[in-house]
Amino acid sequence: MKALEIKKGIYCVGGIDWALRNFHGYLTQRGSTYNAYLIIDEKITLIDTVKYYLAEEMISRISSVIDPSKIDYVVCNHVEMDHSGGMPAIMRLAPNAEVITSAAGEKGLRQHYKQDWKFKIVNSGDTVSLGKRSLQFVMTPMVHWPDNMVSYMPEEKILFSNDAFGQHIASHERFDDEYPIDTILDEAKKYYANIVLPYASQAAKAVEDTHKLDIKMIAPSHGLVWRKHIPAILERYEKWSQNEKEKKAVIVYDSMWGTTENMAKTIYSTFESKGYKLRLFDLKLNHISDIMTDLMDASHICIGSPTLNKGIMPTVASFLTYMQGLAPKNKQVVLFGSYGWAQQNLKIIESYLPPSFEVIERINANYIPSEEFMNDAMKQLHSKI
């Protein structure tokens, strides 16, 4: 496999994961890439690596440019194994290479790989000369692990941003102007909603730091390299990291005998009558990671489940567990569902909600609600949205 030159002497040498469909619970329907970058200068430098099973692919791409044993520096912007899994293989080929990383990066790499590699610890503002060019480092802790940092090359105005600004897209194309931009931006939003969302304040700081740099190219570790649409992705990250919301209601439910589903559709009509943008998700048919993408910028979420035995529908519990971990903020909530002889469904749903959520209405029907019951409930809801 070949390396792809993205700038004179700078190559993309990562792996393309065409078959990836599940990234710890995140549906990656377009696969992904783990982008590693090789810089040919007086110091041969590799920025990040790949998942362990794509190490051979990365090495063959590096070998199409240079003998991997000549690598002097391996920069580890982030320890998570989709970017560090190829390090043992590359360090076996270049055992004298220095590993440039943050203090938390060194700790994480030692914990993962139990190797006494030669570490060079950097902090925000540190610069390492590669010869004609250099790398400056900016710590971006908790976007989205404690060790995260980004590397900036001022001479070429390239930001090697690791996870930030990434998208899970497997493609042979490497640049944002070679692939449908709407798809890239949709996948960047899904990536933010499912990976970065819990760390919005840290992401906002990282975006602020990025704005201070003169950038002509953003080379993330997943998906396409930004060179044409940099203002578009920065503007979106700014909006997402500020938790900006639309007048939008996301209705999420599962149903046993159709009652909760019918209630979901009635609630839909009530929001529709007030001019809301709407999304309706039957959890039997929709993936929780796609729902999170829509939920991220919604003002309202309506969650419905009947009581099932002593609990709720497992699809709803799975969604709630996933959402709880990602901790979206400041939503107005409508709880709904039906029960036969045990009313705990709404209480169980409520127990999963993040603290900043406000429940504005609870609609719980016994078996099948009468028309009068639903009319009254919708009148109440109408007055609160």
Give the SS3 label for residue 248: strand
x/- mask, ligand FEO, residues 216-245, rule CB under 6 A, reads: -----xx-----------------------
Quick one: 76 or 378, whose CB is closer to ligand FEO? 76
Report the residue number whose CB is nearest to ligand FEO. 80
Cα–Cα distance measured from residue 243 to residue 299, given in angstroms and rounded to the nearest whole number: 10
x/- mask, ligand FEO, residues 98-137, rule CB under 6 A, reads: ----------------------------------------
Among 57, 82, 187, 261, interactor with ligand FEO by CB under 6 A: 82
Cα–Cα distance measured from residue 198 to residue 135, given in angstroms and rounded to the nearest whole number: 29
The active-site residue out of 37, 48, 98, 144 is 144
Quick one: 78 or 300, whose CB is closer to ligand FEO? 78
Q: Is 163 in the site for ligand FEO (CB under 6 A)?
A: yes
In whole angstroms, the minimum distance from the beta carbon of 82 to ligand FEO comes to 4
Among 177, 195, 220, 159, CA closest to 33: 220
The active-site residue out of 73, 191, 253, 276 is 191
In whole angstroms, what separates CA 206 from the centre of its chain? 15
Give me the phi and psi of 16, to 5 degrees please: -105, 120
x/- mask, ligand FEO, residues 282-321, rule CB under 6 A, reads: ----------------------------------------
**Are the CB atoms for 236 and 188 separated by under 8 Å?**
yes
Quick one: 240 or 357, whose CB is closer to ligand FEO? 240
Residue with tokens 């949205």: 385
In whole angstroms, the minimum distance from the beta carbon of 68 to ligand FEO comes to 22
Stretch that binds ligand FEO, among 50-58, 79-87, 109-117, 319-327 (CB under 6 A): 79-87
Cα–Cα distance measured from residue 250 to residue 281, given in angstroms and rounded to the nearest whole number: 8
Among 48, 80, 106, 297, interactor with ligand FEO by CB under 6 A: 80
Clarify whether 82 is annotated catalytic.
yes
Stretch that binds ligand FEO, among 78-86, 134-142, 243-251, 278-286 (CB under 6 A): 78-86
Among 78, 189, 227, 300, interactor with ligand FEO by CB under 6 A: 78
Cα–Cα distance measured from residue 45 to residue 134, given in angstroms and rounded to the nearest whole number: 10
Clarify whether 168 is annotated catalytic.
no
- Helix segments in 173-309, DSSP class H: 181-191, 200-211, 230-241, 259-273, 288-295
Pair of tokens at residue 48: 């990040």
Q: Count of residues for the chain? A: 385
Clarify whether 172 is annotated catalytic.
no
Clarify whether 163 is annotated catalytic.
yes
Clarify whether 222 is annotated catalytic.
yes
Clarify whether 191 is annotated catalytic.
yes
Clarify whether 24 is annotated catalytic.
yes
Cα–Cα distance measured from residue 332 to residue 36, given in angstroms and rounded to the nearest whole number: 42
Q: Is 83 in the site for ligand FEO (CB under 6 A)?
A: yes
Stretch that binds ligand FEO, among 37-45, 74-82, 152-160, 322-330 (CB under 6 A): 74-82
Residue with tokens 């998942």: 51
**Are the CB atoms for 123 and 102 separated by under 8 Å?**
yes
In whole angstroms, the minimum distance from the beta carbon of 49 to ligand FEO comes to 11
Cα–Cα distance measured from residue 141 to residue 199, given in angstroms and rounded to the nearest whole number: 10
In b/e form, how buried is each residue of 24-57, taking b as 16+ CB within 10 angstroms? eebbbebbbbbbbbbbbbebbbbbbbbbeebbeb
Quick one: 78 or 174, whose CB is closer to ligand FEO? 78
In whole angstroms, what separates CA 133 from the centre of its chain? 31
Clarify whether 73 is annotated catalytic.
no
- Taking each helix axis from N to C end, the angle separating 200-211 and 230-241, rounded to the nearest 10 degrees, works out to 140
Q: Is 189 in the site for ligand FEO (CB under 6 A)?
A: no
Q: Which residues bind ligand FEO (CB under 6 A)?
A: 78, 80, 82-83, 144-145, 163, 221-222
Catalytic sites, residue numbers: 24, 78, 80, 82, 144, 163, 191, 222
